[in-house]
Amino acid sequence: MPEEQRRRQLIDVTIDSLAEVGYVGSTLAQIASRAGVSPGLVAHYFGDKDGLLAAAFRSLARRLAQRVRSRLRGALTARARIQALIDANLGPEEFDRRTGTAWLAFWGQVLHVPGLKRVQRVYQRRAISNLRHALQQLVPAEEARRLAAMIAAMIDGVWLRAALSEWHEADSGSARALLTAFVDERLAQSVSPESATVSSGRSARPVSVRDSTQIVSINPATGEVLARLRVDGAAEVDAAVERARVAQAQWAALTGGQRGRILRRAADLLRTRNEELSVLESRDTGKPIQETSVVDVHSGADCLEYFAGIAASLAGEHVDLGPQAFGYTRREPLGVVAGIGAWNYPLQIACWKAAPALACGNAMIFKPAELTPLSAVKLEEIFVEAGLPAGVFQVVQGFADTGRLLTRHAQIRKVSLTGEVGTGKAVMADAAPTLKHVTLELGGKSPLIVFDDAHLENAVGGALLGNFYSAGEVCSNGTRVFVHRRIKAAFIERLRARVTAMRIGDPLDPRTQVGALISREHMEKVLGCIARGRAEGARLVVGGQRVVSGDLAKGFFVAPTVFDDCRDDMSIARDEIFGPVMSVLEFEDEDEVIARANATEFGLAAAVFTSEVTRAHRVIARLQAGTCWINHYNITPVELPFGGMKASGLGRENGRAALEHYSQLKSVYVAMADVDSPY
Ligand code: NDP
C-alpha cells in the first residue's frame, strides 16, 4: 500500500478506535492489530501514541476546515457566513457518534499532550476569527468579539451534551436550529453603525449593508447556481429613471384602449409561455411545479388582462355647476413609479404592481427580491414583445440598497412594496422627504376561526391551504387556527392524517405538493421557530423537522408542521414565521375568539368557517383584517381588492381599488360666462 494511503488508513482506524474504546483503550498495539499491521509499522509512521493521535486530531481538524471553507464559498452575506460556520460544525456529516466521540477523546487529553494542544489552539482560533469577521459586519467590534466567543462555546457545549447522552439526544437539525435561534436573537438586540436599522415593531433587526456587486441566484431545492446578475447602483437607477420619464410621456399619450391592447397581448404571451415560466419560477423559488403552473403565471396573466380591460374605461367625472360653469375631473397617471417585490410570488407580484400602474399610464421600475431575480426579467421581455414602448417597464436588480435608491429618488412619484413590516416602515420613512405615494403589502399572522358547526373537511382543507401552500411562504396565511373546543380533537385527527399524506419532494416533479423553502437562512429561521415552539410547551402533532432524505438533503426542505395546545403568548402564535408551521389554539366563545384574533399588530387576512350565515357575517365584520374569507382560504381573485389593515399595510392591490393608488385626480373648472371681478 502506498505510504500516504497507509497513513490515512491508520488515522481512520485510530478514529474508529477512539470512538469505540476511548483514549486510554487506544494503544499502538491495539490500533496496529485493528489495521492488520505490526506495531513497528505504526511507530515507523507516527513515532509514538501521542504522535499518532496528534496526526488523527489534525486530520479531523483539517477535514472540518475544508467543510467550513466550502460552505463559506457559497455564503454571500455576513449572516450567511455565520450560518455556514454553524452548519459546518454541526452538519450531519460532522455531528455523529464516530466523529463526535473522537473529538471528545482529544479534548480530554488536550491539557496533557502538547501536540494536541497546538492543534486545538489553531482550530479554536480559526473558528473564532471566522465568526468575528462575519459578525463585525453586523454588530460593533466589541460585541462581535463577545458573540463569536459565545457561539464557539455553544457549539462546544452542544457537542459535549450530545456526547454525554451517548448520542441518543443528538440531532444535527435541532442543534443547528438552537444555534440559529440564538444568533438571530442576539443580532436582533444589537445594531452596528455599519448596519441600517429596520424596525420590525417588536424588535430592531439589523440589515447588513452589502458590498456585493452581484446577485447569485440559487435553486433552493438543489443548491445549484442558476444565474449571476449585476447589482444596479445609483448610475443605473438614474439612467433607468431618465429612460422611464421619456417613455412615460409617450405611453400616457396613448388612449386607454391602446394601452389595454398591449397589456392584453402581454397576458396572452404569459399564458403561452406558462410552461417555461413556471419551471423557471419553481427553480428560482423552490415551489412545486404543481403550484407555479396553475397559479403564479396565470394569476399574473389574469391581472394584466383585468387591468387591460379597465384601461379603456378610465374616466373622470362631469360635475354640473349650474348654467355659468361646469367642472370635470381627469384621472391622470402619477408618472414614474417603483415596485419592489418579495421572493415568494416573484412573477405574480411584478404583474400585480405593473398591471394597474401601466393601465393608468405610468412607467414602472421594478426591483425583484435578490433571492428571486429571474422571472421579472422575463416579464420585461414579454412586455417588449407585446409592444410596450422601451423604458415603460424596466427591471433593476439588487439588494436593499438598490431598493433605497428607488424609494429616495426625487423623480419617482410612488413606491409599492411587498415585504416585511420592518421594510415597510423603512420604505415609508425613505419616501417621506420626497412625499411619494406608498402602497405597502406587508406581513401577517392571520386568524382562521373554525366554529363547531363548520363542515369539518372543508375547514381542515382551508387550514391546509392557508398554512402549507408554497411551503407556508404566503403573507396572508392563517397560521393561528382557532378551533372550537367541541371539535378540536376531531379537527386535529383529520389534520394529522391529511398532513401525513402530503408529498414533499423535487419541486419539478408534478406529484410534489411541498417544495423547498427559499434559502438556507430562511430554513434555519423556520427551524428555530419550531424549536422555540417546542421549548415553549406547544404539542407537536406532526412534522417539526428538516427533510433530508436522498437528494432533498441538498435543498432546504422542512416538513409541514402542526402544533396543538398553543397559547396566544407563545412566539409561534405571535410572530410571522413564513414557513410551514401551523399553530392550533382552542376557544369556546364567539366574543372571546374575536378578541383573541384581533390581539395582534397585524391585520392582513382572516377567515371564518361556520354553517351559520348570520354568524359568519357578524364575526367577519368585527375582525380587523383587510382580506377575509368565509368557508375558504387564500383565494385571491383579481377582481377583489387585496391588502392589509394595521401593521399589515396601506393601500390595496387588485380590483378597481388599485387604480386609486396609481393615478391622481385633476379637477378642472370651466367658466361659461364672463369673469365677474370686483377689481
Ligand atoms: P423583505 O421586506 O425582506 O424584502 C422585500 C423587498 O424589499 C426585497 O426586494 C428587498 O430587497 C427590498 N428591501 C429590503 N429593505 C429595503 C429598504 N430599506 N428599502 C427598499 N427596499 C428594501 O421581504 P421578503 O422578501 O423577505 O418577503 C417576505 C415578507 O413579505 C413577509 O413578511 C411576507 O409576509 C411579506 N409579503 C407580503 C405580501 C402581501 O401582499 N401583503 C405578499 C408576499 C409577501 P432584497 O431582499 O432584494 O435585499
Residue 312 CA to ligand 1 centre (angstroms): 32
Give residue 208's pLDDT.
33
Nearest CA residue ID for atom 8, ligand 1: 369
Which of 420, 473, 653, 660 does the annotation list as catalytic?
653
C-alpha cell, 586: 382552542
Distance 449 CA to ligand 1 centre (A): 28
User: 315 C-alpha to center of ligand 1: Å?
Assistant: 33
Predicted confidence at residue 209, as pLDDT, reads 36
Beta strands in 572-674 (DSSP E): 581-587, 605-609, 627-630, 649-650, 663-671
Given this model, what pLDDT does residue 211 score? 39
Whether 207 has a pLDDT exceeding 70, the answer reads: no
Q: Please, which residues have CB within 8 angstroms of residue 541's CB and are 6 or more apart in sequence?
A: 492, 495, 496, 499, 562, 563, 564, 584
Task: Identify the active-site residue in 441, 524, 576, 660.
Answer: 441
pLDDT-derived band at 96, boundaries 50, 70, 90:
confident
Using the predicted structure, report yes or no on whether residue 77 has a pLDDT greater than 80. no
Beta-carbon contacts of residue 259 (< 8 Å; ≥ 6 apart) = 251, 308, 311, 358, 359, 361
pLDDT of 201 > 50? The answer is no
For residue 73, report the distance from its CA to the centre of ligand 1, in Å: 25
517-536 burial by CB neighbour count: b if 16+ within 10 A, else e? Answer: bbbbbbbbbbbbbbbbbeee
Calculate mean pLDDT across residues 190-210.
32
Ligand 1, atom 34: closest residue by C-alpha: 443
Strand (E) or helix (H) holding 337: strand 336-340
Q: Name residue 504's amino acid.
A: I
In this structure, which residue's CA is closest to atom 43 in ligand 1? 475
| Mean pLDDT, all residues of the chain | 92
545-583, pLDDT tens digit by residue? 999 999 999 999 999 999 999 999 999 999 999 999 999
Burial class (CB within 10 angstroms; exposed 0-12, middle 13-18, buried 19+) of 651: buried
Residue 190 has a pLDDT of 66
CA–centroid distance, residue 520 to ligand 1 (Å)? 17
Please give the DSSP secondary-structure letter assigned to residue 343: S
Q: Give the mean model confidence (pLDDT) for residues 289-314.
A: 98
* CA of residue 343 to ligand 1 center, whole Å: 7
- Residue 405: pLDDT band (50, 70, 90) is very high
Of 101 and 299, the structure prediction assigns the larger pLDDT to 299
DSSP assigned state of 652: -
Say if CB 659 and CB 454 are below 8 A apart: no
Integer Cα distance of 311 and 289 in angstroms: 32
Q: Compute the distance from residue 640 Cα to the ligand 1 centre, in Å.
A: 23
Containing H/E element for 105?
A: helix 97-109
User: pLDDT digit string (tens) for 48-68?
Assistant: 888 888 888 888 888 888 888
Classify residue 204 by burial, with Cβ atoms within 10 Å: 0-12, 13-18, 19+.
middle
Ligand 1, atom 9, lies closest to the CA of: 369
Which atom of ligand 1 lies closest to the CA of 399?
A: 48
Q: Ligand 1 pocket test: which of 475, 525, 634 has the largest number of ligand atoms within 8 Å of its C-beta?
A: 475
Q: Which residue out of 303, 475, 529, 566 is catalytically annotated?
A: 475
State residue 639's pLDDT score: 98
Closest-lying ligand 1 atom to the alpha carbon of residue 373: 47
Q: Is it the case that residue 141 has pLDDT exceeding 90?
A: no
- List the end-to-end C-alpha distance of the chain, in Å, as a whole number: 113
pLDDT, tens digit, 9 for 90 and up, residues 251-262: 999 999 999 999
524, 516, 523: which is closest to 552 by C-alpha?
516
Whether 224 is catalytic: no
Angle between helices 49-73 and 39-46 (to 10 degrees): 60
Range 643-671 average pLDDT: 98
Nearest to 603 by CA among 481, 448, 478, 446: 446
Q: Which of the pair, 494 or 192, is modelled with greater confidence?
A: 494
Q: What is the mean pLDDT of residues 521-536?
A: 96
Residue nearest to atom 4 of ligand 1 (CA): 419
Name residues whose C-beta falls within 8 Å of residue 526's C-beta, 6 or more positions apart in sequence. Answer: 472, 517, 558, 577, 578, 579, 580, 581
Residue 199 pLDDT > 50, yes or no? no
Instruction: Work out which ligand 1 atom sits closest to the CA atom of 426.
Output: 18
Q: Which of 91-95, 409-413, 595-599 is predicted least confidently? A: 91-95
CA angle 286, 289, 291 (to 5 degrees): 95
664: helix, coil or strand?
A: strand
Whether 353 sits among the annotated catalytic residues: the reply is yes
What 3-state class would DSSP assign to 482? strand
Residue 179: predicted pLDDT: 86
| Cα torsion angle, 615, 618, 621, 622, sign | negative
| Structural contact between residues 538 and 583, judged by C-beta atoms closer than 8 angstroms | yes
Q: What is the pLDDT of residue 276?
A: 97
- Chain length of the chain: 679
Which ligand 1 atom minimizes the distance to the CA of 398? 47
CA–centroid distance, 488 to ligand 1, in Å, is 35
496-526 pLDDT tens trace: 999 999 999 999 999 999 999 999 999 999 9
Q: Give the number of other CB atoms < 10 A from CB of residue 673.
A: 9
Q: For residue 300, give the nearest of 325, 272, 337 by alpha carbon.
A: 272
Whether the full predicted model's pTM is greater than 0.85, yes or no, is no
Band of pLDDT at residue 193, cut at 50, 70 and 90: very low
Nearest CA, atom 37, ligand 1: 442
> Which atom number of ligand 1 is nearest to the Cα of residue 368?
9
Question: What pLDDT, on the 0 to 100 scale, is given for residue 212?
Answer: 62
Helix (H) or strand (E) holding 526: helix 520-535
Amino acid at 677: S
Phi, psi of 80 (to 5 degrees): -65, -35
Judged by average pLDDT, the poorest of 16-30, 215-229, 465-479 is 16-30
Catalytic, 303? Answer no
Q: Which atom of ligand 1 has the smallest separation from the CA of 475?
A: 34
Which is nearest to 447 in space by CA: 612, 578, 565, 623?
Answer: 623
Helix, strand, coil content of the chain in percent (nearest 5): 55, 15, 30
The tens digit of pLDDT for each residue in 578-609 reads 999 999 999 999 999 999 999 999 999 999 99
Distance CA 608, CA 617 (A): 9
Mean pLDDT across 423-445: 98
- Tens of pLDDT, residue by residue over 442-467, are 999 999 999 999 999 999 999 999 99
**CA 341 to centroid of ligand 1, rounded, Å:** 6
Pocket test for ligand 1, best of 184, 408, 420 (most atoms within 8 A of CB): 420
Residue 144 has pLDDT above 70, yes or no: yes
Q: Contact 438/415 with Cβ under 8 angstroms?
A: yes
Atom of ligand 1 nearest to the CA of 215: 47
Looking at residue 663, its pLDDT comes to 98
Half-sphere exposure of 678 (CA within 13 A, CB side): 0
Mutate to test the pocket of ligand 1, among 184, 340, 353 (most ligand atoms within 8 A of CB): 340
Q: Which of 467, 649, 487, 493 is nearest to 572 (CA)?
A: 467
| Atom 12 in ligand 1: residue holding the nearest Cα | 400
Ligand 1 nearest-atom number relative to CA 207:
15
The better pLDDT of the pair 387, 169 is held by: 387
Give the model's pLDDT for residue 192: 35
DSSP-derived secondary structure for 12-37: HHHHHHHHHHHHHH--HHHHHHHHTS
How crowded is residue 114: how many other Cβ atoms within 10 Å of its Cβ?
10
Distance CA 620, CA 411 (A): 41
Atom of ligand 1 nearest to the CA of 406: 20
Rounded CA-CA distance 207/284 in Å is 23
pLDDT at 198 over 60: no
Which residue's CA lies nearest to atom 28 of ligand 1?
A: 419
Mean pLDDT along residues 461-486? 98
Q: Which residues contact 655 (CB under 8 A, 6 or more apart)?
A: 638, 639, 640, 641, 642
Strand 195-199 to 204-208 pairing: antiparallel
Contact 437, 645 (CB under 8 A): no
Instruction: Confirm if 609 and 454 have CB atoms less than 8 A apart.
Output: yes
Centroid of ligand 1 to alpha carbon of 183 (angstroms): 21
Among residues 353, 367, 414, 436, the one annotated as catalytic is 353
Residue 414 appears among annotated catalytic residues: no
Distance (angstroms) between ligand 1 centre and the Cα of 308 equals 27
What pLDDT digit, counting tens, does each position of 303-353 carry? 999 999 999 999 999 999 999 999 999 999 999 999 999 999 999 999 999
Q: Which residues have any ligand 1 atom within 6 Å of their CB?
A: 340-344, 367, 369-370, 399-400, 403-404, 407, 417-420, 423, 426-427, 441-444, 475, 576, 578, 604, 644, 649
